Structure 1
Amino acid sequence: MQKNDPKIINAWCMYDWANSVHALVIVSSIFPVYFSAAALNASGGTGLIDFFGLSIKSTVLFSYTVSASFLLTALLIPICTAIADFTGYKKRFMKFFCYLGSVSCMLLFFFTKDTLNFSVLIFALSLIGWSGSIVFYDSYLPEIATEENYDRVSAKGFSMGYFGSVLLLVFNLSMVLFPSFYGITDKGMPARISFFTVGVWWILFAQIPFKYLPSANKGKAQVENWIFSGFKELVKVYGQLREQPYLAKFLLAFFVYTMGLRTVMYVATIFGSNELKLPSQSLIITVLLIQLVGIAGSYLFSWLSSKIGNIYALMIGVAIWIGICAGAYYTTTAGQFYIVACAVGMVMGGIQSLSRATYSKLIPENTIDTASFFSFYDVTEKIAIVLGTFIYGTVEQITGSMRNSILALLLIFIIGLILLSRIPSQKVYRFGLQTKAN
């Protein structure tokens, strides 16, 4: 396939537009607020809910659900990507996970305090569908663009995702704030409709990349035992990965700082709701601010990487995260929370976009096993989310305070910064180090 084709690149970016509404509406804004309210009602005001016979704090259940979802995804994805690379069915797998996630979002329309346990499982499936489709989506980047354009194309995808998700959130937010305008009298109905619209939006706009992205990225001789052949493909890619020292070092650093970054994404709204007691409208508007600032942040870090190299730009981003955690620990008012949220928006998308581009640069040139290579990236990210959310929930469970969990995240970012500093950046490569620039 011809690289740097504007039509293909725009179609690829549209999947960010399609799926990012899940990250915004389901993960970061309306769903966590609705979940907290439904769990409080189901618990009779105690905050402890009966989850299939297990009495557990609602905020801890939320963290553990995220952990379990991404653990299952981490187990499934390497097998799926290896099979996809061997058979050439990358797009089929991407469609499967896309439809799993979007339909799960639609089913959350039936989320009430009486269906809480069922809805938690559906929420978990939506996470599996979303994260599963992303690895196949990301793996197209080295196929559609040349290396010098990775940063720009990756940033464009993230910025389109931010912009598209903001549009849907504004509509959903209007229902939440002004339900009478839509003739809605049920207090919980606006949120439930929002969940349904996420699924519809996701499916509809995903048809654009599904139409233009290639159906088969490689495809080898067909065999009956796909799973066995998939495992062989995975072992081969793992051997190639071990031969790339800077790729392995980057994955380790990425693993650590992603533990903190993605955990913040999943628990920030819960922190504002339960620790700061902010009203739901304030929390949703805060998330909206994060998205708007994130559009600029994605392009800012792309520009920064062009000036100082990807690794140095990532180190700056992680250093800012350390400051964010320190600020969040001392946050007590809504105004302070808004300031921290804007800082989060500035670095959230920028670091994610730059991490994806950096990994694309570090994989072997002209590789055709892109899905399998990105499965290691995705599994690293998912296990990081599992451990990060588990650590966050466990620290809160033991100490009874989310603020102590924030201190744990601060320590994680410090370790991530140290690990990044061990990787030579682009400036070093120019002075004779014989390896690829990152």
Structure 2
Amino acid sequence: MTQGAGRTDLSQERSRAHQRAWGWYDWANSAYVTTTSTVLISPYLTAIARADVCPDLAEGQRCAENLSVLGLPIAVGSLAPYTITLATIVSALALLFVGAIADRTPRPTRLLGGLAWVGSAAAMSMFFLVGTNWELGVLLIIVANLCLGASTVVYDALLVRIAHPDDRDRVSSRGWALGYLGGGVLLALNLGLLQLHETIGVSQGMAVRISLFSAGLWWAVFTLIPVIGLRSIRGTTLEPVARGAGVVRGAFTQLRATFGEMRLYPQTLLFLVAYLFFNDGIQTVIYSASLYGSEELGFESGQLIITILVVQFVAFGGALLFGNLAGRFGAKRTVLSGLLMWTAVVAFAFVVPAGAYAVWLVCAVCIGVVLGGTQALSRSMYSQLVPQGRESEFFSFYQAMERGTSWLGTLAFGLIFQLTGSYRPAILALIAFFVVGGLLLARVDMRRGIADAGNEQPAVV
């Protein structure tokens, strides 16, 4: 087995200062995830695509014309979920190489910063989405989501370096909580802009474009904190042959070896398959919530932003709550309980009546309770299952199924809408992802997987 040597003494890297600096990247990128991906970009992209093919459509009517993309007919309402699907396919291929390269770069935080700043530039460029140029929107979403996933590969892998196995549930949960708080703060500011746009003399479209720009700017500025705060961390110490192969050629060689070695980590592989399913469900709910709320339930942009604000601030507490529960009952049991809650939440969303905003807000509170905790604990659980010296490479497999790179769920969501013309059966179909993912996760033997990876056993799993 080709095994990275790793470091035997990580006491200096596992400091409170490093853990605090590390968590700020959740704060930085969550502005894009919340303001752009979750709330604004899907309805906005749908609106400018509708303006292209149905320019004379009366308000409240559904466009019956299709877009033509490479000769294929695409329903206007399916453009946003199909775009996420395409971004996922591109990311799933690219992130594997990013992870292998990240394990070989001497300064991983520089790579983190470079990827984040390219992604934030794409996010800020969404300001130029006007008129009917939905094609530019598709391109920018793909670039921004790819860079988000790639930078998070590096970021997640650093959790192993800066936190002891017994501390990872806590550190990961606090990072997620900080992310929800930061995303909520910027979203609240953007809500104010959208609600008061006439008072300050800007159109609603301009207010949306300014909000999209602000999310990219926030991402860029706050990325400085982890890049500077973790600058002393160096790349993994590799075997002489791997190091002599160079960054890119060595990455390709190691990636090929890793595919062959995955069978040696059956519990890690089983966890990844489980995560593929239940995280696809989570990500599709996140990306489709605003589309479902606007198109199926008839809520306005301001109401949707209030909804996401509720989710954000409840999720802040939910992530901390799940972190505490994991310390008492173990991360695996806590996540399985969370998946049962997710199943109930999706069923609840299916029966929310059109225009029933108060009922919709109750659904949002339920999502907030379970959202951050399941994601944060999944990250810390997986960190226990990856071999030393290969963290970024293994997290690239994980990140390919993480935020903004789910494709089974968004593909199913888009296809069901195209077949039925309604988002209700599309949202209900997501229950299957939580059920299958939960059944597979229940079969994962965490203790055995940690031992197979050669890692220290935490007190509670």
* Of 285-294 and 99-108, the range deviating more from structure 2: 99-108
Measure how far apart 1:60 and its partner are: 0.8
Secondary structure, counterpart of 2:67 in structure 1: strand
* Of 373-382 and 62-71, the range deviating more from structure 2: 373-382
Q: Which residue of the other structure, out of 16, 25, 32, is the alignment partner of 1:22?
A: 32
In structure 2, the partner of 1:189 is: 206
Matched letter for residue 387 of structure 1? L
In structure 2, the partner of 1:111 is: 129
Matched letter for residue 186 of structure 1? S
Higher helix share: 1
Q: Which residue of the other structure, out of 354, 362, 371, is the alignment partner of 2:385?
A: 362
1:65 matched to 2:83? The reply is yes
1:39 matched to 2:56? The reply is no
In structure 1, the partner of 2:444 is: 423
* Separation (CA, whole Å) in 2 of partners of 1:50 and 1:422: 44
Alignment of 1:345-384 (within 5 A): 345-364=368-387, 367-381=388-402
1:167 matched to 2:185? The reply is yes
1:343 matched to 2:373? The reply is no
1:318 matched to 2:339? The reply is yes
Q: Which residue of the other structure, out of 408, 425, 436, is the alignment partner of 1:387?
A: 408
In structure 1, the partner of 2:304 is: 283
* Separation (CA, whole Å) in 2 of partners of 1:96 and 1:51: 35
Q: Which residue of the other structure, out of 109, 113, 125, is the alignment partner of 1:95?
A: 113
In structure 2, the partner of 1:134 is: 152
Secondary structure, counterpart of 1:50 in structure 2: strand
Measure how far apart 1:263 and its partner are: 0.7
What fraction of aligned residue pairs are identical, expressed as a percent? 32
* Separation (CA, whole Å) in 1 of partners of 2:404 and 2:294: 26
Unpaired runs of at least 5, structure 2: 1-9
**Against the structure 1 CA distance between its residues 178 and 383, is the aligned structure 2 distance closer, same or farther, given a 3 Å change threshold?**
closer
* Separation (CA, whole Å) in 2 of partners of 1:185 and 1:235: 53
* Separation (CA, whole Å) in 1 of partners of 2:193 and 2:22: 30
**Against the structure 1 CA distance between its residues 81 and 104, is the aligned structure 2 distance closer, same or farther, given a 3 Å change threshold?**
same
Q: Which residue of the other structure, out of 395, 406, 429, is the alignment partner of 1:408?
A: 429
C-alpha contact (below 8 Å) 1:90/1:371 kept by paired residues: no
C-alpha contact (below 8 Å) 2:102/2:108 kept by paired residues: yes
Measure how far apart 1:341 and its partner are: 1.4
Alignment of 1:3-14 (within 5 A): 3-14=13-24
C-alpha contact (below 8 Å) 2:315/2:371 kept by paired residues: yes
Q: Which residue of the other structure, out of 188, 208, 213, is the alignment partner of 2:225?
A: 208
Measure how far apart 1:411 and its partner are: 1.5
- Listed one character per residue, the Cα deviations across residues 104-135 of structure 1 (whole Å, up to 9, x for unaligned) are 11111111123222122112211112121111
* Separation (CA, whole Å) in 2 of partners of 1:263 and 1:412: 10
**Against the structure 1 CA distance between its residues 218 and 425, is the aligned structure 2 distance closer, same or farther, given a 3 Å change threshold?**
closer
- Listed one character per residue, the Cα deviations across residues 354-379 of structure 1 (whole Å, up to 9, x for unaligned) are 00000012223xx1221112112112
- Listed one character per residue, the Cα deviations across residues 72-131 of structure 1 (whole Å, up to 9, x for unaligned) are 111111112212212435333322321121001111111112322212211221111212
1:78 matched to 2:96? The reply is yes
1:297 matched to 2:318? The reply is yes
Measure how far apart 1:41 and its partner are: 2.9
Matched letter for residue 204 of structure 2? K
C-alpha contact (below 8 Å) 1:17/1:160 kept by paired residues: yes
In structure 1, the partner of 2:169 is: 151
* Of 285-294 and 24-33, the range deviating more from structure 2: 24-33
- Listed one character per residue, the Cα deviations across residues 158-217 of structure 1 (whole Å, up to 9, x for unaligned) are 111111111111111111000144x33323111111111111111111011111214532
Secondary structure, counterpart of 1:29 in structure 2: helix
* Separation (CA, whole Å) in 1 of partners of 2:178 and 2:105: 31
Measure how far apart 1:240 and its partner are: 4.9
**Against the structure 1 CA distance between its residues 383 and 106, is the aligned structure 2 distance closer, same or farther, given a 3 Å change threshold?**
closer
* Separation (CA, whole Å) in 2 of partners of 1:317 and 1:38: 37
Unpaired runs of at least 5, structure 1: none
- Listed one character per residue, the Cα deviations across residues 386-408 of structure 1 (whole Å, up to 9, x for unaligned) are 11111111111112221111222
In structure 2, the partner of 1:263 is: 284
C-alpha contact (below 8 Å) 2:24/2:223 kept by paired residues: yes
Measure how far apart 1:340 and its partner are: 1.2
**Against the structure 1 CA distance between its residues 69 and 351, is the aligned structure 2 distance closer, same or farther, given a 3 Å change threshold?**
same
**Against the structure 1 CA distance between its residues 436 and 251, is the aligned structure 2 distance closer, same or farther, given a 3 Å change threshold?**
farther
C-alpha contact (below 8 Å) 1:310/1:425 kept by paired residues: no
**TM-score scaled by length of structure 2:** 0.87
* Separation (CA, whole Å) in 2 of partners of 1:118 and 1:384: 19
Measure how far apart 1:308 and its partner are: 1.4
Secondary structure, counterpart of 2:201 in structure 1: coil
* Of 316-325 and 406-415, the range deviating more from structure 2: 406-415
* Separation (CA, whole Å) in 2 of partners of 1:388 and 1:150: 28
C-alpha contact (below 8 Å) 2:149/2:405 kept by paired residues: no
Matched letter for residue 194 of structure 1? S
* Separation (CA, whole Å) in 2 of partners of 1:39 and 1:153: 42
* Separation (CA, whole Å) in 2 of partners of 1:352 and 1:139: 15
Secondary structure, counterpart of 1:130 in structure 2: helix
Matched letter for residue 209 of structure 1? P
* Separation (CA, whole Å) in 1 of partners of 2:291 and 2:309: 15
Aligned Cα root-mean-square deviation (Å): 2.3
Measure how far apart 1:219 and its partner are: 5.5
**Against the structure 1 CA distance between its residues 41 and 212, is the aligned structure 2 distance closer, same or farther, given a 3 Å change threshold?**
same
In structure 1, the partner of 2:5 is: none
* Separation (CA, whole Å) in 1 of partners of 2:404 and 2:38: 19
Measure how far apart 1:223 and its partner are: 4.7
Secondary structure, counterpart of 1:362 in structure 2: coil
C-alpha contact (below 8 Å) 2:103/2:235 kept by paired residues: yes
* Of 266-275 and 161-170, the range deviating more from structure 2: 161-170
C-alpha contact (below 8 Å) 1:312/1:425 kept by paired residues: no
Secondary structure, counterpart of 2:444 in structure 1: coil
Secondary structure, counterpart of 2:74 in structure 1: strand
* Separation (CA, whole Å) in 1 of partners of 2:263 and 2:181: 38
